[in-house]
Amino acid sequence: MVSDRSGRALVPVTGNCPRILSIAGSDSGGGAGIQADIKTITMLGGHAMTAITAITAQNTLGVQAVHQLPTDLILQQIESVVSDIGVDAVKIGMIGSAEAALAVAEYLQRLGVAIIFDPVMVATSGSLLADRETIAAFGKLMDVASVVTPNLPELEALGGKEAILDHGCHLVIKGGHGEGSVVVDELHAPGGLIRRIEGKRIESSETHGTGCTFASALAVGLGSGLDLNAAFEQAISFTRIAILEAPGLGEGNGPLGHQFVTDFQDDDG
């Protein structure tokens, strides 16, 4: 297992079928959350396992209702799969509550595998998915994460690049919420910039679940033995192609086309 300077795992022990645990909320519309994670992990050749943190009534137009699951049930889901099947990497998305964030962070620090934390605060539709207390507890998850993957509004809400890197994790700054014809995604280590990838902006409203998809793809890459640089590149390619292949469902921000991604070469640039 390869680790960074803090001892945090970046490339865990792997096999032909990396075991990826997603800790996230359920999206009844199938576009984001657990559903997007399962599709991404499966398409990339991993075995998807889940610990559902919340159940949402959700579609392409927004989030109509949220039911937070008890923290002890979230932890039991994690323990059930870890104790029997094992895990090569973890992806964290919507965590639901401050209590759950703190408890999950405490549990995960003992695993010694790559942990990807996507600090979900607001759905693509604009619906709030984390309150102020929960966002404040994100610090504990960043303490145990190998990589944190905020979009630009989330980066600002968490205090900026240096504030996140002070937790000792790596950081992906996703440029999809930026402006201009070029999207810039950056990979940073606590010591500085590692990689910068530019791509032509894809003009599409079918972007529901892009953050979940990217973070899950990154987890699969690390769980399957890729180094961080290669996993970062693969995750970007998979996500971009899934956007291009979106099936055009719903009346709002539609889901990606995970099921139509057959290779990871993005000819669109």
Q: Is 169 a catalytic residue?
A: no
The single residue of 210, 223, 239, 254 carrying the catalytic annotation is 210
The single residue of 207, 223, 254, 257 carrying the catalytic annotation is 207
Say how far apart CA 4 and CA 39 lie, in whole Å: 29
Q: Is 207 a catalytic residue?
A: yes
Are 80 and 90 contacting, i.e. CB atoms less than 8 angstroms apart?
A: no
Q: Is 250 a catalytic residue?
A: no
Q: Is 159 a catalytic residue?
A: no
Tokens found for residue 203: 């003009």
Q: Is 211 a catalytic residue?
A: yes
Q: Is 210 a catalytic residue?
A: yes
Return the HEC string of 150-205.
CEHHHHHHCCCHHHHHCCCCEEEEECCCCCCCEEEEEEEECCEEEEEEEEECCCCC
The single residue of 30, 211, 223, 257 carrying the catalytic annotation is 211
The single residue of 31, 212, 239, 254 carrying the catalytic annotation is 212
The single residue of 209, 221, 254, 257 carrying the catalytic annotation is 209
The single residue of 174, 213, 239, 254 carrying the catalytic annotation is 174
What are the CB-based long-range contacts (under 8 Å, 24+) for 5-8? 5/168, 5/190, 6/168, 6/190, 8/115, 8/144, 8/145, 8/146, 8/168, 8/169
Cα maximum dimension of the chain: 48
Tokens found for residue 208: 């529901």
Are 246 and 254 contacting, i.e. CB atoms less than 8 angstroms apart?
A: yes
Catalytic amino acids? 174, 207, 209-212
